[in-house]
Structure 1
Amino acid sequence: MANSKKPGGLREMLESMYSVIALLFILVACVELCDAAAAVDVYRLIQYDMSGSPFGSRFAALNHHAASLHFPPGVDLSRTVLIIPLRELNITFVREYINQKNPLGGLLVLLPEVLSFKTGGNKQVHEKEKMKNLLAELERLLVHSNIPYPVYFAFENDEIDTVLADIKKNDLMGQPATATTGGYKFVIPTAEPKKVASPTMTNIQGWLSGLKTDGDANQLPTIAIVASYDTFGASPALSVGSDSNGSGIVALLEIARLFSLLYSNPKTRGRYNLLFGLTSGGPYNYNGTQKWLRSFDQRLRESIDYAICLNSIGSWDNELWIHVSKPPENAYIKQIFEVSW
């Protein structure tokens, strides 16, 4: 999914959030008896709680007939899965539908293949950027809404395009799919997600010792270089996180590599200890970082003279953000902060 800014606050994660295996989405053509079936991979919208408030899609199982955007006015969609290709998506319509709490059996958003992991190179660059911007806007809407029905994403292909064409034709003819008339029925037979009471947080730490002179009894100051290694998006299985936070991880590993070469020689070893940390739980109020800091010896915490957090440094806007205390305590950092503004 497109990257999104990480909302703060305590989040309670659910088992479904980190699933990297797409659910099986079954399309059944029901004409009298089911005479055809096909399966495609789908990716569920994230579900989480923040400070006790629910967000994302609150349900997972589906067993409803399908409809396109050409449904008749005033029709009851409470037992219908609405299929919307991203190319045809009207963000205002989706926002109003969610805000007005209109009933819906489920929502399937079809992503163009140009956004697929399999698509590479500079193919259709303009279209890809347009779709990414629209997807980012949709993502912001979905992850900050409480949606009382299943929401899934799937990539377009010839098979699902054929199914959607049939559904559109029937809807335009005033023959929507029902239990009596037949039509396409979408089924996801999965258990509802369960809350994870205590998620596992795994942090990775590296250390380079600085050079102490003979007779120096004082502990050397420490510079901490930290990056969060996980990501956040509308669908966890699609959140590749090249900028949030793949860019920070790459920068940290390269810095560690260069300084390990310098610190291997006493002549080029600095008088600072270097602490490197890859922390988890960044999108969830930096829970992994908090756990990591609490595990430190008090002397180590007190020795940290400077900390650098490398998060989302490959921003699309080509900007770097500085997070400082209010007011900035370090005079040098205060100067950088004032110049940046």
Structure 2
Amino acid sequence: MDSRCLPIHLGDKSYDILFGRGLLKDLGSKVRPFCAGGRAFLLTDQNVDALYGATAENSLREMGMRVRRLALPAGEQTKRFDTLPEIYRAMSDFHLTRADLVLTLGGGVIGDLGGFAAATFLRGLPFVQVPTSLLAQVDSSVGGKVAVDMPWGKNLVGAFHQPKLVLIDPDVLQTLPPRVFRDGMGEVIKYGFLFDPTLLDLLQDPDRIEEVLFRSCDWKRRVVETDERDRGERMLLNFGHTVGHAIEASQNFSGFTHGEAVGLGMLAITRLAQARGLTEPGTAEAIAARLAQIGLPVRAGALDWEKVRAALQNDKKNLGDHLTVVLVRRSGEGYLYSTNREFFEGVEQCLA
């Protein structure tokens, strides 16, 4: 089968992103070189497991690997610190060693959770990302940031742990519910307004999805190669995430999806910046139009804004009373801006 390869150059942590229709059926042969010990621990969620779990496991077994498959409940509520003991116990019972392999088959929740478990069990196991949601394929599976949520904030406990391989099969997107597919488009819109306005013109054409995947990952590759540890340019990828994460936390991760919240976050912070002369007039309106075009929300509705403001205090980009926010001067030109918490005064009016 035809596949396309995008290498990420990170010295001894370099790896490839493979793109290709039907690649999931060839999973075993692609990952076998990374599994010297012969045991493969396959983490997934119950929804994905019903669709693709057996296919993935059979492919691994056909290459002579012993497989332990663990399917967790689907949803952001699973990406909690208190889920980890169940995973660690299953890994221990399977006698995983650092010569074996962890695979994450699912969306961003499973990729983040399984990646963090791999980063911490036995002080680090090799792992492979097999993202099955659009959001995970264009963003969260690439770059090595893995984390779990705490009740008061998103991604507060995490690590940098690069995968050995990312395997992206566009065919699996065909089984996504419409809302989950739109969720991933929020991150694609982010890339468009940060770096590449021409990417936005592909969003309505389903025949261009493979180009959307490749170009989105290529933008992330460029940033990660420059700033793997999120100390400078990589912070640009958090456009919309400061307010977006706060919205998610205020709803106990059970309201807006991640992509929906990020879209609202991009819109809110751009309206705030535009009002302060930090963004070219009309940019916020362009973001709102793209979100609405895809079917993502442009109004927040009834939120507990006290909880949102409290969650903003826990943003990982905060340094004392100062914080770095990600803004766009205009479509395609993102930048970092140092400010203070007063910047967010009036944020609720931006999403009314």
TM-score of the two chains, using structure 2 as the length reference: 0.30
User: If each structure's strand is expressed as a fraction of its own residues, which one has the higher value?
Assistant: 1
Task: Find the structure with the greater CA-based Rg.
Answer: 1
User: If each structure's helix is expressed as a fraction of its own residues, which one has the higher value?
Assistant: 2
Higher RCO, 1 vs 2 (CA within 8 Å, ≥6 residues apart): 1
